[in-house]
Amino acid sequence: MIEGVLASGSEVVIGLAVAVPVVVVAGGIAVGLRLRGRGVREHVPAGEEAHDATTDAELVRSAETTSAAEGPAGAATIVEELPDLSEGTRAGPPEAASYRSRLGKARGLLSGYMGAVRARGRVDAATWDELEEALIRADVGVGATDALLGDLRTRVASGEIAGPEALVEALKGDLVGMLSAADASLALPGPPDEGDDDRVDVWLFIGVNGVGKTTTVGKVASRLSGTGHRVLLAAGDTFRAAAGEQLALWASRADADIVRGSEGGDPSSVVFDAVQRAASRGHAVVLADTAGRLHNKVNLVEELKKIRRVADRPPGRVVEVLLVLDATTGQNGLAQAKVFLDAVDVSGVVLTKLDGTAKGGIVVAIQRELDLPVKLVGLGEGVGDLIDFDAAAFVDALF
C-alpha cells in the first residue's frame, strides 16, 4: 500500500514538473498576444543576440544607421503608444503615502524600548543599554549607534540633557540631523515647456534582481508623466526573462513610450537607442532599467560601466544613478550595494518595501555606511506609495 502511495506521489510530482513550464510558456504567449492586441508595435531584428560583443565605437556606427521606429537589422525593439491601463484615472501625480500610517512595524519595535526609557526616573546604565539594543535591533548599524550614543553621553554628562524624556527627544533630533546631512533632492526635469531641447536627461536604476527596480522605474514614470513630462523607458534588463514585458505594462499605465531589445541582447544598445529616440521625439527624460545579477559580478560591473558611458554621450546626459535596495534585507543589502558602487558613481538610494520591515533604521545605516542620500522610499505597492524621503517625517513616524 505504501509503495502504491509513493508511486502515485511520484506521478503527481512528474505531472507538475511537466505542467508548470507549459503554464509559464502559455502565460508568456498570452501576455504577448494581449500587448499586440492593444496596439503594440514590435520589431525584433535578426542578430540581436550578437550585441554583447559590440564595442562602443561599433555601437555608435550601428545606431547612426538605424531608424528608431522601423529600423533595419541591428536596431533595438521599439514598443510605443501603449494605451493607458488606468482608463482615464490619471488626473495628476498619485497621492503620496503617509509615513505614520505605513511604518507601524518599525514603530512597534522601537516603541517598547522608548517607553521603557521614558518610564525611568533618571538616565542610568540601564537606559543606555535600552537605547543601544533598540538601535541595533532597528538595524541602525553598530557604527551609527556608537556615534549617536557617544554624542548623547557627552551631552548628558555636561548637563545639557537632563532626564529620560529629554534624552529621547535629543536622540530624535540627532537622527533627523544625520539623515538630513546629504542632499536628497532629485534631478527632476524642468517645466515641460522649458529647458534645453538639445539634451535628454537619463536616470539609471541599478541593484540586484528582486529588489523592485522595474517596479520603481514604472512608478517614477507615472510620477513624471503625471506632472506633464514626456517619459521614455529603456528596458535595459535583457538578462531577466519577462523584464521587458513587465516594463511595457508599466509604460502603458504611465502613458510613456518604451524601447526594448531582445532577450540576452546588449543593454547598452537599448539605452543608446532610447536616448536617440527621446531626442528625436521630444521626450524630457529616459528612465533606464538594468540587470542585477550578482553571480556574474565581473561582467555585471563592466556592463554597468558601459551603459553609463553610452547613456552619458550626447544628446544624453546621466543626471541620476539610483541604487535600489530592499529594506527587508537589512545589513545584507549594504554588502550587495558595494558591488554597484564599484561600477558607477551612484547619486542616491531608493529604499523599497520599507513598510514591510521592523528594521527602519537601515535608512541611517545606508547614509552612514554608503555615504549616499536616500532619495525615495517605498511604503506600499501602489503607484503613489513611492515617495520622496523626508527625514523629519520618517523619524517622527518611528517614534
Domain locations in the chain as residue ranges: 77-94+195-398, 104-179
The cell for 242 is 519577462
pTM over 0.85: no
Distance CA 279, CA 283 (A): 6
The reported pLDDT for the residue numbered 96 is 54
CATH class of segment(s) 104-179: mainly alpha
**What's the fold here for domain 77-94+195-398?**
Rossmann fold (3.40.50)
User: Are the C-beta atoms of 132 and 81 separated by less than 8 Å?
Assistant: no
346-387 pLDDT, tens per residue? 999 999 999 999 888 999 999 988 899 999 999 999 999 999
The reported pLDDT for the residue numbered 41 is 31
Q: Which residues pair with 257 in a beta bridge?
A: 232
The residue among 100, 108, 38, 42 whose CA lies nearest residue 75 is: 42
For cell 521625439, the residue is 281
Low-confidence ranges of the chain (pLDDT < 70): 1-96, 193-197, 295
Distance CA 302, CA 295 (A): 14
